[in-house]
Every structure is written in C-alpha cells, then in structure tokens.
Structure 1
Amino acid sequence: MIVQAIRSAVFYVFFFVHTFILAIIIGLMSRLTPNQKSAGWRLAQYWNGSNLFFLRWIVGIRTQVSGTENIPDGGCIIGSKHQSDWDIFAMLPHVGHPAFIAKKELLDIPLFGWAARWMDTISVDRKKGKDALPAMTREARGALERGRRVIIFPEGTRRAPLDTPAYRSGIVRMYLAMNVPVVPVALTSGLYWGRNSLVLWPGTARAKFLEPIMPGLSGEVFSKTLIARIEAETNAMVLEDARQGLARPISPGLRARIDALEAQAGNQA
C-alpha cells in the first residue's frame, strides 16, 4: 500500500506539472497563432501519449482498447461509460481528432480552457440543466459538420465501478437531432484509477467500443438500448477483471456488487 501510494504521488506530480506546462503552451498558441491548430493538436496527442506512458511505467496501469472496428467512417457520436480520467487517454488515439463534450467549469479555466476550446471541446453548462442542451447540440452539429467524432459521457460525471447508472438526457437529444450512429463504450478503468482516489492500482484497464446504434430509433428505445449495451458489457468486463484478481483493496460495497454479479452469472449459466 505504501509503495503504491508513493508511486501514485510521483505520477500525480508528473501528470499535473506536465499538463500545466502544455496548457500554457497550447493556450498561448490558441491566442497567438490560431491558424496553427495542427501543431497544437500534435502537442495534445503528445500529452495524451505521455500520460499513458506515465500510467504504465510509474503506477503499473496498462491500457487495452478493443472493438475499434465498430467505429464508423465519418461523423458519429461516441457515448462512453465514465469512471476515470484514463477514459479520455484511452479513446483519443482511436477516434481521429474528436470533439469532447466537457463541463463549462473546465473550459473557464485560463489557458487550459483556451487550449481545450481550440481543440474543439464543446462546452455544456450543467447548472442550466436541460436549458443547456440546445447550445450543446448546436456546437455538436458544427463539430460533426467539420468531420469530428463527438465524444460524450452520458452520465455527465465519473462514477464508481458497478455503481447505479445515472444517464442523462443530453445524448438522447443529440441522437434525435444529429441522425448519425452512436457508438457505446464500456470500460473498467475505475478499478485502477478510482474517482477522486489518491492511490492508483496496477492492472490492465480496458475499454471496448461496441456495435453502433444506427439512427432512426425513438428516443425511448435508443436510451434503453444504449444503457443496456454499455451496462451489460461493463458489468461483464468488471466481473472478468475481478475474477482474475485485483491489486486494489475491495470495499464492502464493491464486494457486494461483484458477488451479486457472480450470482446473476451463475443463474444464467
């Protein structure tokens, strides 16, 4: 535990210092050389790859991504489970130059927010609730028209593994308005880098792009299909990882949820 806590502290130092320096560089570039977005994007890719490197070699978190063949050519929406900052790092190498949807508070940070907006990040003001959806939808439509894949976390925030799902309506509004496929993503990252956790645990964090949901469904059917696919696959992946053994301590709550999944799997066998 102590050794892993030290490794985690070293990672956080590298992560925050590295992010701070690159936010200054890219943020200033967005103001001083706004037409050099390709150079800024290369720096963003470097930042992403460096964080995966730090995670692998400092704290022992490996990265495994599968199902990329399910990402269609051209514009689409990618709706991902969200358990950790790792989720962004894992998806980014496989989705071209995407447009992430992020909370407005992040984009209001000087320099970092400038850099994020320059890299096509879409702002959503969660304080406005459903009133924020029209502006978010307009920005997302513009990103799709520019050939971007729009990435949204439908629950709006990071959630612990096997926590009760809490999907919001934003992705449903986007699906109905955009007429493009939605690619669900299941993942297990919260088992290794938990929400607000000071200690990161070694292991292989996994993400899986699932079969796309094609346009044309009603909002209700789409929502049920999206949630069912993401939750079923995420639960199966978390159970697989738990069966193989986890380095992290398992809380009573997580143990109870894993045991419930085991019982459900046994009943279906």
Structure 2
Amino acid sequence: MSVNQSAGLLGNIRALFYYAGFYPVTIIYSLLCLIVTPMMPFRQRFKFVTTINYFYIAWLRICCGVDVKIEGRENLPKEGAFVAISNHQSEWETIYFQLLIRPQCVVLKQELLKLPFFGWALKLLEPIALDRSQRRGALKQLLSQGKDRLENGIPVLIFPQGTRLPVSERGKFNKGGAMLAVSAGVPVVPIAHNAGYYWPGKSFAKHPGTIQLRIGKPVEAAGRSVDEVHTESVEWLLGQLDQFDAQQQ
C-alpha cells in the first residue's frame, strides 16, 4: 500500500468515527431545537441552536486530530454589524464560523434547508436562503434581506465563491458582499482559512493538523465604490490563500 493510499484509508477511518457521533447527536439536538426554540428571541435562539457546534469541533479534534489557530481575532468589530466574507473549502467553516461570529446571518443555497434534521434546525437561524438558478432575484433578495439583518445589528456572512472548491482552485468571487456593505454603509471583514487541507469539501476523509484562520482588518465601505471594496477585500483573501498553499509545499 502506498503512502497516499495509507493516508487515505486512515482519513476514512477517522471520518467514520467522527460521523458515528455526528449524526446521532445532530438528530437528537435538532429535534430538541425544533421543540424548544421557535418562540425564543433570535439572539437567544441562535445561541441555543449553535451550542451543538462546540461538540462538533471538540469531537473533530478527538476523532480526527483537527485543531484551529486563529490570527487577527481583534479585527472583528466589537460593536455594530458588518459583512464577513470568506473562502469556501470545507464544511468546517460553516460550523466554526457560527462560534466565531455570534450571532450572524449566513447566506446559503436554499437546498440546504431541506436536509432532514440539520436543515430544519438551520432554518431556525433565519439565514438568507438563495435560489441560485434565479441570479437577478437572488441578488435582490441578498441586498434586501441582508440590509434588514444589518440594520438590526446582525452581521452577515457570505462565501463569495458560491460553492466549496479544492484548495488549489480560486474560482470567481462575486461582488454581492461588497454591494451589500456599500448599500448598508458597513465594513467588510475578510476571513481566510485553509480547512480544505484537513476536511476536504468533497471528500469523506479527514486529516490531522491545525487549520489556520486569519481575520483581516475591516475594509471600510461607506462612501466607496463597490469595485474598490470588492478588490481590496478579495486581494487580501487571495494573498492569504497563496501563503497557505506555499506553506503546504
């Protein structure tokens, strides 16, 4: 057996143990959330529903040896809403970011809300669920609902690449986050990570290591053009991703 085959086999075994705990706990906790939280105020409901994420992250460390190192936490605004944008490589960021930014409203594809248990509980967090087949309507929905969330002091999280991509691919970063930030007059906070090396987005296997997550300084949007805000925030993201890749070589 080659080294790569051995690593792949071990990665699958780790993932098997991880999901053996992940799915039963998710089903039980999702049902509890559906019973307990619908009448709660949003902020209280968010805290309750996402409490399970602490288990997910701890269980991932125990079963798969995956940890995280954060740089730039001080760059997250202490007050006021903002638009956070990040690269999309893994399912990990959708779990961890709910612990990093509390509360938040995430922009996602509406199909996720149809997933049994997980999707039902996710709907309780009032995400902006877009129909990606309706591009013009999706943008209008993002700007309308996103501005409403921001005016209520809720940060909005967007993955501008639109879908999970392998670590070596960059794809296209759409301008929705910059458009929303400029429209609402709030900053953009770029967040970069390399989770795809340890929890690949389209792979069952999990690999031990420490995920690096870096939070950039807020990019001011008030009084600036969409292109200026988009270019500054995405260039920072791409620079961090290039550094992550260089470290893995």
Give the structure-2-normalised TM-score: 0.88
For the 8 Å contact 1:185–1:207, the answer to whether it is kept is: yes
Within 5 Å, give how 1:55-94 maps onto structure 2. Answer: 55-72=60-77, 73-94=79-100
Maintained 8 Å contact 1:27/1:113? no
* Structure 1 stretch displaced more, 139-148 or 101-110: 101-110
| Cα distance between partner residues in 2 of 1:200 and 1:109 | 22
- The corresponding residue for 2:11 is 4
Q: Say whether the 8 Å CA contact 2:47–2:103 is kept in structure 1.
A: no
The alpha carbon displacement at 1:226 in A equals 1.9
Match of 1:162 among 163, 168, 182: 168
Secondary structure of the residue that 1:126 maps to in structure 2?
A: coil
Q: Name the counterpart of 1:248.
A: none
1:47 is matched with which residue: 43, 52, 56?
Answer: 52
Q: Which structure 2 segments of 5+ residues have no match?
A: 1-5
2:199 paired residue among 193, 203, 208:
193
Q: How does 1:56-205 map to 2 (within 5 A)?
A: 56-72=61-77, 73-109=79-115, 111-205=117-211
Q: Give how far 1:38 is off.
A: 5.6
Aligned residues: 240
Pick which of 11-20 and 228-237 moved more.
11-20
CA contact (8 A) 1:77 1:180 kept: yes
Offset at residue 93 of structure 1 (A): 2.3
Question: How far 1:108 sits from its partner (Å)?
Answer: 3.4
> 1:123 is aligned with what amino acid?
A
Whose RCO is larger (CA < 8 A, sep 6+)?
A: 2
What do you get for the CA RMSD once the two structures are aligned?
1.9
Any idea what SS the aligned residue of 1:217 has?
coil
Counterpart-to-counterpart distance in 1, 2:119 and 2:63: 28
Do the aligned partners of 1:140 and 1:150 also contact (CA within 8 Å) in 2?
yes
Q: By how many angstroms is 1:69 displaced?
A: 0.8
Q: Aligned ranges for residues 4-43 of structure 1 at < 5 Å?
A: 4-30=11-37, 33-35=38-40, 37=42, 40-43=45-48
Asked whether the 8 Å contact 1:98–1:120 carries over to 2, the reply is no
Indicate how the Cα distance of structure 1 residues 28 and 110 shifts in structure 2: closer, same or farther if over 3 A, else same: farther
The one-character-per-residue Cα deviations of 1:49-74 (angstroms, maximum 9, x if unpaired) are 11111110101101122211111121
Deviation at 1:142, TM superposition (A): 1.7
The alignment status of 1:230 with 2:237, answered yes or no, reads yes
Q: Which of 215, 218, 225 pairs up with 1:218? A: 225
**TM superposition shift of 1:4:** 3.1
Identify unmatched segments of 5+ residues in structure 1. 244-269
2:3 is matched with none
Instruction: State the percentage of identical aligned residues.
Output: 25
Q: Matched residue of 1:184: which SS?
A: strand
Q: In structure 2, how many angstroms separate the alpha carbons of the residues matched to 1:147 and 1:38?
A: 11
In structure 2, what residue type is equivalent to 1:214?
E
Query: C-alpha separation between the residues in 2 aligned to 1:164 and 1:42?
Result: 32
Change in Cα spacing, 1:6 to 1:112, as seen in structure 2 (3 Å) is: closer
Whether the 8 Å CA contact 2:175–2:226 is kept in 1: the answer is no
Q: Deviations over 1:60-92 (max 9, x none)?
A: 101122211111121000001111111123322
